[in-house]
Copies of this chain bind each other. A is one copy, B any other.
Amino acid sequence: MATMHDVARRAGVSVMTVSNVINERPHVRAATRERVRAAIDELGYAVNATARSLRQGRTGVICLAVPEIDRPYFGILAQLVIERAATDGFEVVIEQTGAARAGELGALAHSRLRSYDGLIINAVRLAGADAALLRSELPVVVLGERAYAEPVDRVAMDNVAGGALAVRHLVDSGRRSVAMIGGRMSSGPADIDAATERARGFLAGAAERGVDADPRRIVESDFSLEGGRDGVRRLLEAGIAVDGLFCATDLIAIGAVRALADHGLRVPVDVGVVGFDDVPLASFTTPSLTSVAPDRIGMVDAAVSMVVARIRGERADADYREVVGAMAIIERESTATIDPN
Count residues on chain A whose CB falls below 8 Å from chain B CBs: 43
Q: Decide if A177 is an interface residue (CB 8 Å cutoff).
A: no
Contact check, B53 vs A50: say whether CB atoms are below 8 A apart: yes
Q: Give the contact stretch, choosing among A27-35, A110-118, A236-244, A298-306.
A: A110-118
The interface residues of chain B lying within 8 Å CB-to-CB of A201 are none
The A256-288 residues at the B interface (CB cut-off 8 A) are 257-258, 261, 280-281, 283-286, 288
**A218-253 CB contact bits vs B (8 Å, 1 = yes)?**
000000010001000000000000000000000000
Contact check, B70 vs A75: say whether CB atoms are below 8 A apart: yes
Q: Which of B51, B76, B286 contacts A54 (CB 8 A)?
A: B51
Q: Decide if A82 is an interface residue (CB 8 Å cutoff).
A: yes
The CA of A82 and the CA of B75, in the complex, are separated in Å by 15
Contact check, B113 vs A46: say whether CB atoms are below 8 A apart: yes
The interface residues of chain B lying within 8 Å CB-to-CB of A114 are 49-50
Q: Decide if A79 is an interface residue (CB 8 Å cutoff).
A: yes
- Contact flag A94-B69 (CB < 8 Å), given A286-B258, A286-B286: yes
**Copies of this chain in its oligomeric complex:** 2
Contact check, B79 vs A75: say whether CB atoms are below 8 A apart: no
Q: Decide if A1 is an interface residue (CB 8 Å cutoff).
A: yes
Q: Which of B48, B71, B96, B285 contacts A258 (CB 8 A)?
A: B285
When C-beta atoms are compared, the residue in chain B nearest to A115 turns out to be: B50
Q: Decide if A7 is an interface residue (CB 8 Å cutoff).
A: no
Contact check, A254 vs B284: say whether CB atoms are below 8 A apart: yes
The A33-51 residues at the B interface (CB cut-off 8 A) are 46-51
The interface residues of chain B lying within 8 Å CB-to-CB of A59 are 50
Q: Decide if A215 is an interface residue (CB 8 Å cutoff).
A: no
- Contact flag A254-B225 (CB < 8 Å), given A50-B53, A79-B70, A112-B46: no
Q: Decide if A255 is an interface residue (CB 8 Å cutoff).
A: yes
Contact check, A72 vs B69: say whether CB atoms are below 8 A apart: no
Q: Which of B1, B96, B109 contacts A46 (CB 8 A)?
A: B109
When C-beta atoms are compared, the residue in chain B nearest to A287 turns out to be: B286
Q: Decide if A93 is an interface residue (CB 8 Å cutoff).
A: yes
Q: Decide if A137 is an interface residue (CB 8 Å cutoff).
A: yes
Tell me the smallest distance from the CB of A299 to a CB of chain B, in Å. 16
